[in-house]
């Protein structure tokens, strides 16, 4: 399953980390910039407060303000920066009187909303935000002037519209989003390159194993990381042992066949043995041959060499043409190039040799051989223009010792061995009537992988 894939796990982890880290980084940077921007505005308004109070006097019951303030925004109507001065009436609780405002606040609705201001205690300042029809930053500073021995408490409010602040914040957020998007794209590219570099040894190992499985190599080769080398060494050791064990097994079977056939041949050639005993000896010999062939079959081994089919067919056809040269058989071959049988060469020779031998026996003049393959299936079809095999006999002919009348000599043992070999490779052996030559058609199908 894809969820068990190492590549999937690495990609999923990287994407999860990206989805967690980038929003966290974006939120942190945005919060830090916002706090920095507000702190800068607070410092600016505080400096404006001290600048205005430095030029302010209270004389003869009147508040004397400078005719023009240093910052030109205070002198321009609706500039977004405003200054207001109010007096706290000590006789009446929470009673305030607006004493003065800058020319920029001429149309400011806050002039008549002294209740929304938050004057701090004398000698202190307060920075806060107010919301009416617009949003504002306010820096309030409370001081006291002495006039004829009377303390006059006043509060200076510096008001700044938040439009500039919001515009700067939105511009930063847009730029931050673009940069985070670029970082994400760069991260994806780097992550993909890192992933390919990291998984390269595993991909190389997969390729090597595929070549070994297909028979193009006998062991795994290549320069692998130190962490993987012990696995490669153990795997090559296992492959070597498996090949050696299979060779020893087949050699032992050959020795057994030789040991059994020699005494049987002696019995058969003896003058004292009658016909019935000879028949039983023949039967025992056939059984031994069949069982030994079956035991020697490599079958669907996990590791095996692949065999080119075309040279095997050419060799068999050449030999059989010489054996049956009196029949002058015409063999038509249609073989897809580079077709390979994933198995043992001796097994392939046994299968094709038996079927081609039967085809040469049964054919009148023509034999056709077709070999095709795709990613899933290797198919070999051998047809002849003989009498063919009746449908009722097609299953029987694959049984040991049974032959169809089409053949002049009994080769049921051979076809039974063919069936067993094909079955050992999880293949199929099908007997049909050849659609073009009208004789028998033997179709062998092997899994391609």
State pLDDT tens for residues 3-51: 677 778 888 888 888 889 899 999 999 999 999 999 999 999 999 999 8
pLDDT the model gives residue 334: 92
Q: Are residue 68 and residue 148 in the same domain, yes or no? A: yes
Residues 103-126, mean pLDDT to the nearest whole number: 85
Which structural domain range is residue 117 located in? Answer: 1-211
Percent of the chain with pLDDT over 70: 85
266 in the same domain as 326: no
Question: Burial code of 104-129, b = ≥16 C-beta within 10 A, e = fewer?
Answer: bbeebebeeebeebebeeeeebbbee
Q: What integer is the mean pLDDT of 428-438? A: 90
CATH number where 332 lies: 3.30.565.10
Residues above pLDDT 90, as percent of the chain = 31
Residue 356 in this model has a pLDDT that exceeds 90: yes
Same domain for 367 and 284, yes or no, is no
Question: Is 215's pLDDT higher than 80?
Answer: no
Q: Which has more confidence, 446 or 396?
A: 446
Residue 225's pLDDT band, with cuts at 50, 70 and 90, is confident
What is the tens place of the pLDDT at every residue in 262-320?
A: 677 777 676 666 776 776 777 677 666 656 665 555 555 545 567 889 999 999 999 99
Q: Which among 170-184, 339-353, 416-430 has the top mean pLDDT?
A: 170-184
Instruction: Identify whether residues 134 and 59 lie together within a single domain.
Output: yes
Q: Residues 161-174: what's their mean pLDDT? A: 93
32 and 108 together in one domain: yes
- What is the rounded CA–CA span in Å between residue 415 and residue 182? 69
Q: How many structural domains comprise the chain?
A: 3
* Residue 302: predicted pLDDT: 43
Q: What is the pLDDT of residue 347?
A: 85
Q: The pTM is what?
A: 0.54
Does residue 151 carry a pLDDT above 60?
yes
What is the residue whose two structure tokens read 């999937």? 8
- Residue 146 shares a structural domain with residue 287: no
> Cβ(155)–Cβ(89) under 8 Å?
no
pLDDT of residue 173: 93
Across 139-143, 360-364, 421-425, least confident range: 421-425
User: Are both 171 and 36 inside the same structural domain?
Assistant: yes
Whether 1 has a pLDDT exceeding 70, the answer reads: no
């Amino acid at each position: 399953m894809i969820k068990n894939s190492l590549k999937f796990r690495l990609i999923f982890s990287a994407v999860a980390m990206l989805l967690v880290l980038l929003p966290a980084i974006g939120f942190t940077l945005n919060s830090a910039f916002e706090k920095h921007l507000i702190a800068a505005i607070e410092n600016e308004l505080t400096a404006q407060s001290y600048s205005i109070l430095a030029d302010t006097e209270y004389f003869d019951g009147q508040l004397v303000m400078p005719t023009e303030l240093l910052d030109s925004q205070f002198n321009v109507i609706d500039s977004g920066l405003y200054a207001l001065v109010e007096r706290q009436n000590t006789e009446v609780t929470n009673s305030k009187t607006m004493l003065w405002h800058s020319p920029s606040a001429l149309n400011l609705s806050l002039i008549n909303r002294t209740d929304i201001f938050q004057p701090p205690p004398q000698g202190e300042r307060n920075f806060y935000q107010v919301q009416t029809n617009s949003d504002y930053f306010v820096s309030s500073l409370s001081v006291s002037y002495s006039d004829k021995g009377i303390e006059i408490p006043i509060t200076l409010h510096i008001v700044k519209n938040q439009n500039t602040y919001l515009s700067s914040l939105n511009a930063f957020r847009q730029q931050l989003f673009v940069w985070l998007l670029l970082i994400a794209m760069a991260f994806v590219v780097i992550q993909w390159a890192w992933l390919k570099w990291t998984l390269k040894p595993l991909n190389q190992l997969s390729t090597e194993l595929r070549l070994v499985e297909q028979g193009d190599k006998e062991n795994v080769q290549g320069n692998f990381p130190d962490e993987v080398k012990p696995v490669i060494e153990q795997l090559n050791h296992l492959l070597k042992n498996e090949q050696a064990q299979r060779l020893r097994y087949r050699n032992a079977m050959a020795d057994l066949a030789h040991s059994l056939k020699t005494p049987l041949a002696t019995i058969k050639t003896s003058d004292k043995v009658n016909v019935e005993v000879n028949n039983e000896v023949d039967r025992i010999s056939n059984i031994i041959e069949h069982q030994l062939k079956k035991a020697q079959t490599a079958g669907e081994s996990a590791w095996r060499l692949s065999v080119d089919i075309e040279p095997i067919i050419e060799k068999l056809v050449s030999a059989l043409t010489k054996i049956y040269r009196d029949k002058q058989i015409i063999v038509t071959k249609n073989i897809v190039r580079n077709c390979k049988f994933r198995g043992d060469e001796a097994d392939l020779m046994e299968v094709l040799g038996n079927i081609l031998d039967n085809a040469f026996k049964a054919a009148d003049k023509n034999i056709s051989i077709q070999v095709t393959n795709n990613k899933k299936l290797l198919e070999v079809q051998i047809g002849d223009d003989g009498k063919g095999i009746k449908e009722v006999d097609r299953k029987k002919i694959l049984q040991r010792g049974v032959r169809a009348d089409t053949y002049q000599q009994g080769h049921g043992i051979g076809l039974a061995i063919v069936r067993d070999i094909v079955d050992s490779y999880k293949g199929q052996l099908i007997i049909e009537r050849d659609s073009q030559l009208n004789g028998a058609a033997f179709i062998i199908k092997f899994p391609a992988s």
